[in-house]
Structure 1
């Protein structure tokens, strides 16, 4: 499949007219043909069945920043105080219920699975996803980005329910997790304006241990800040260039080979989905001031390359 020179970027109107404050962590569920994502400060998980335009929302007791699923459909959620198992309640599909849920998300609670010892206050989990073997990885950050506090760290939560000690520390705004198709390279970014780095690691698939950390791409030399990411079937790394309204695609050698403009100034994270995993869905953030009509909405682009199914958590929640 040849990549279009300037693929069309469309706003997904079925995702809702009300923009997200901080739209993050899109996850495509192949079994449901549905896209899930979160709105962090709104404490919501959102689901959209793209073909039927059926939309659902669930409200959590605290901020939720990243999600993954186990094989039964239970959500593993990285929140403010720890990692939680969340069962999303069934929602009636009749017309009355659909009208109600458009304005009233269903309230759900979660069971705490694990929590790190936060080195200071006002912290939460941020970007997270499963590696190719189904281990869940997520990082923490100080919520006040202006503080530029490098108290954040990256953690691994395995199928046995054990949360690791910090694997990578000294992070200000952890982001950009991803793995190569063979699982042998791990990617990680720090999106803070003082960092703007993407790193690559050698990754031991049997043990889940990263090593040989090196700079993969220094976004001080490109546009924007490196936010959430996705890896395509060619092994190329797609990163949302926050503050620049763009998607950047880097080859496995760290060379920028594509740049696609999106209408929102702060694209946050991307994920491949659709019937053939050939649609790249992009969530975005609505800035506190100077927002345009597209900021905070969900977008879809057909970049001419397909993605890989999102791995499920290997344990049972």
Structure 2
């Protein structure tokens, strides 16, 4: 396990590997930062945004698409410290006070998915919704509703299964859906993993080349791997109490980058918010950029 220098995020989320750039990206939500790590030189830097940025994915041709506080944005990252932002879309009803987008990623066809949440998790308000955005049609109507803390988005290697979690302590659930790769419509929602039976809450996720689902056990200090039929077959303990999301990347897609959240607990003081790299012995699946 390798720690990335002294980088520490308050809420480190949404790591993604850009094969076109040989670089990792992730965000620190309350700090309004987008981080980049050069996979060749090891150099890192960040850009600031005007709103909290919760999730990012690569765009075909360069730049990122992001779920933020008021909608979905295009981010261009240049030499300046601040990212250039263009608002692309927002839900028809807008995002109410105290809301923002949360977890997000592109499907295998290059459509961007992200969900909303009420930021005060103690309120446990099930008003979060999941949306689809594509270049041709813009943002969809809500596809899944009544979510508390939307998370865990992932797509099987063939793109025909979509995964989604709700990481709120009152839910701790991961669902699987049949996914229409032509229309981008999920159906047949079913329980994939009830995380109340395992360590931690289901936060961000990744898929490996075997079709297994890797989920960060937030509050459990671990990353768990579930087989496509929902059986736990592996656990990797990490030194951070609150691992937040993982992503496969590197030249051979055999490295797992894990971000984390500061817990505020004394036993987590050294590692809380750290970003680490693991070699789990399996490979991931390349992400499809928006609009490819």
- Give the TM bin, normalised by the shorter chain: over 0.9
SS at match of 1:298: strand
C-alpha separation in 2, matches of 1:203 and 1:161: 18
Q: 1:87 aligns with which of 76, 79, 83?
A: 76
Contact 2:7-2:275 within 8 A present in 1 as well: no
**Residue 135 and residue 172 in structure 1: after superposition, are their counterparts in 2 closer, same or farther (change >3 A)?**
same
- Per-residue deviation at 1:53? 1.8
Q: 1:197 aligns with which of 173, 195, 199?
A: 173
Residue 247 (structure 1) aligned with residue 218 (structure 2) = no
Contact 2:70-2:95 within 8 A present in 1 as well: no
- Per-residue deviation at 1:51? 3.2
**Deviation string for 1:129-182 (max 9, x for gaps)?**
000000000000000000000010000001215100100000000000000000
Give the aligned partner of residue 152 of structure 2. 176
Contact 1:270-1:283 within 8 A present in 2 as well: yes
Q: Segments of 4+ in structure 1 off by > 2 A?
A: 117-120, 288-292
- Per-residue deviation at 1:50? 3.1
Q: Per residue, is there more strand in 1 or in 2?
A: 2
Residue 156 (structure 1) aligned with residue 145 (structure 2) = no
SS at match of 2:47: strand
Q: 1:264 aligns with which of 240, 256, 261?
A: 240
- Tell me how large the CA RMSD over aligned residues is: 1.2
Give the aligned partner of residue 23 of structure 1. 12
Give the aligned partner of residue 215 of structure 1. 191
C-alpha separation in 2, matches of 1:241 and 1:257: 14
Give the aligned partner of residue 281 of structure 2. 304
Give the aligned partner of residue 87 of structure 2. 112
Unaligned runs of 5+ in 2: none
Contact 2:29-2:52 within 8 A present in 1 as well: yes
**Deviation string for 1:73-96 (max 9, x for gaps)?**
1211110011111111136xxxxx
**Deviation string for 1:8-58 (max 9, x for gaps)?**
x32122xxx241000001011112211110000000001011331211210
* Mean Cα deviation higher: 282-291 or 154-163: 282-291
The TM-score, its normalising length taken from structure 2, stands at 0.97
SS at match of 2:274: coil
* Mean Cα deviation higher: 128-137 or 45-54: 45-54
SS at match of 2:138: coil
Give 1:18-167 correspondences, 5 Å limit: 18-90=7-79, 106-116=81-91, 117-118=93-94, 120-167=96-143
**Deviation string for 1:276-304 (max 9, x for gaps)?**
00001100011234332011011111111
SS at match of 1:166: coil
Unaligned runs of 5+ in 1: 1-8, 92-105
